[in-house]
Amino acid sequence: MSTPYPESPRGDHADVYRDAEGREVRVPDPYRWLEDPDSPETRRWVQAQNERTEDFLSALPARAAYRERLTALWDYPRDGLPWERGGRYFRSFNPGLLAQPVLQTADSPSGPWRDLLDPNGLSGDGTVALMGASVSRDGARLAYATQSGGSDWLTWQVRDVASGQDVGGPLRWSKFSGAAWLPDGSGFFYSAYDAPGEGEALTGANRNQRLMFHRLGSAQGADELVLQRPDQPDWGFSADVTDDGAWLVVQVWLGTSPKNLLWVRPLGEHGPGSGDFQPLVDDFRAMFQVVGNDGDTLYLHTDEDAPLGKLTAWNIRTGERRDLIAQGVDKLEQVLTVPGGFLTVTLHDASHRLTLHDRAGQRQREIELPTLGTVMVSARQSSPEVFVAFTSFLQPTRPYRLELPGGALEPLADPALNFDAGAYEVTQEFAVSPDGTRVPMFIVARKGAPRDGSNRTLLYGYGGFGISLTPAFSASRLAWLERGGVFVQANLRGGGEYGESWHEAGTLRQKQNVFDDFAACAEHLTRQGWTRPERLAIQGGSNGGLLVGASITQRPELFGAAVAQVGVLDMLRYHLFTIGWAWASDYGRSDDPDMFATLLAYSPLHNLTEGTRYPATLITTGDHDDRVVPAHSYKFAAELQRVQSGEAPTLIRIQTRGGHGAGKPTALLIEEAADIWAFLEGALAGEAATEASFLP
């Protein structure tokens, strides 16, 4: 590049690991100093990198055009999925360009709506976001959680719905938690950690979660400890209360594994109950989720002996179990108990189906959806009124009301969008991975797009933790489509699209399958004439950032550009920070000799090699990311800048007061998207991306 990168001094630090044969292996870590996010050296490096990146991006002719168009595309009303409590209705709503959506309430699902909680007044820069909301059964109290600057740390408070005034809290140092109210509204359960020590809030490991009960009107210091297991510091606790108010149900989780324990105990008349929990499931053998109950019979959504999922009835008193909905040909993704039956959400080739069953599990009917897409459902066991939100690649999220058992979807809003969706189409194709596995992908393109290899194409993927990538709307991607781009979303192993077997096929020693699937998709797009390598970019975030990092280190010749966002890029040390240890069920750990070699073989940071021409790469992170700490991106950027033998740029964009992504204000989302699209458009303009090729 014509302008040099900021200096990234290399130290002589190295770690010693042990492999499966018991041999010691020394692995250098020359950028260890970048793991301290608050050191003067790191702060100077961040500032210098941001200045270098800004100099580059500000020269891109497409940047201003993207910002203008993205602002217009984002400016449409976004109605969230409603839910009902005590005859009151609640939803999130953004009229267009507010930094954060507003929580609203009404006496009818069709409105009129009034603001209940506007987080836009909680900070001057819009970086305090509403990240959790739970309403008591009578609709009188709202427990809500806010985050600041993108951090995963939550602060809970209580608001009176009628007056709109706060009447309780704050409850601090909560993470990975909801709020489950007692039936009488006198208090709720939530999960919390000990306050971190000085300097540990952003990087310290999160262990020893405890389940607490907060009674309204009391201070946090008086909260009752419900559950803690110091002998199992990695266990976490997620509480729920059955619809009839009889049982406290606790899912015990261990990291990000879908397998959990399941404990129950009776609730007291006006309190959280007492005594020992009854362990219904006392080993981590499968996923068990309570979706409803009739008295002592719990309805459980589980994948025990059913990788695609099933619904089971389990009597707590007698231990009797029987299957109500057996495993089918499609993944059973969600079950909701409704009067007289169950609503199921299934996945067929990565798009949703919505079906009604009776209480015996017999299929009654399928609810017709607008097209291939994604549904979100809000339902209560005691109410025939159901709310459904539907979205697809070309359709913004739209809420519907559904009256059971025989009703059809009734639209509650019609978002007006300044975009000609009719000019585009969504198709699905299948690549074939090296081991013969068929890998689906959705392709979004202008109708009649040529198949001559000329299309600027973005391939997006994730492939981890059983997360399914289904069709979803993004205003940002519309700008890419309008300027001639093609968007492709790949459904890789490691995800949940085809159940737990599909997930496990992309974990631990089989993690390489994920990267092979992604490469197979890239090769398929080239072979079918959608694009060619120098016109193909890849993008992914978090675990998807790992996907991008591994892809460009393993197959740099397949891609013309790459965007790695908040990526897990140092596979030898990821488990040492914040909640990183929880990802070991997918990745394994480097301190396990049997997994060390596997991790080292694909860790993006450790597989950058001198003399290699890597594609143009933009790395993004937030300096307050306390999930995937920014050191991953910092170290990877420093090393990639050092070893890049071609002229393609390597840039890192570091959002200050930014975290992993959730709760990011609208203006910052638009700025980031404009930078990414402008970077990709420049990178894919010529036969080989160089700094000069980005300029007019």
> Known catalytic residues?
542, 660
Q: What is the length of the chain?
A: 696
Would you call 210 helix, strand, or coil by DSSP? strand
Give the residue from 361, 330, 326 showing the smallest Cα distance to 345.
Answer: 330
> Is the bond into 405 cis (omega within 30 degrees of 0)?
yes
Spacing of C-alpha 489 from chain mean position: 15
Backbone angles phi, psi at 393, to 5 degrees: -60, -35
Residues 6+ apart with CB under 8 A from 335: 291, 299, 301, 311, 325, 342, 343, 344, 345
**Long-range contacts for 51-57 (Cβ within 8 Å, ≥24 apart)?**
51/6, 52/3, 52/5, 52/6, 52/651, 53/651, 53/652, 53/653, 55/3, 56/3, 56/649, 56/651, 56/691, 56/694, 57/651, 57/653, 57/675, 57/678, 57/679
Would you call 92 helix, strand, or coil by DSSP? strand
**Residue 221 to residue 209: CA distance in whole angstroms:** 16
Task: List the helix and strand counts (H, then E) for the chain.
Answer: 10, 39
Q: Tell me the chain's radius of gyration from C-alpha atoms.
A: 25
| Tokens matching residue 451 | 């198949």
**Residue 19 to residue 592: CA distance in whole angstroms:** 8
Give the residue from 341, 346, 238 showing the smallest Cα distance to 290.
Answer: 238
Q: Position 147: which residue type?
A: Q
Indicate the helix (H) or strand (E) that contains 596. helix 593-602
| Tokens matching residue 603 | 């860790």
**Residue 468 to residue 218: CA distance in whole angstroms:** 41
Q: Are 564 and 636 in contact (CB under 8 A)?
A: yes
**DSSP symbol at 231:** T
Residues 6+ apart with CB under 8 A from 5: 49, 52, 641, 650
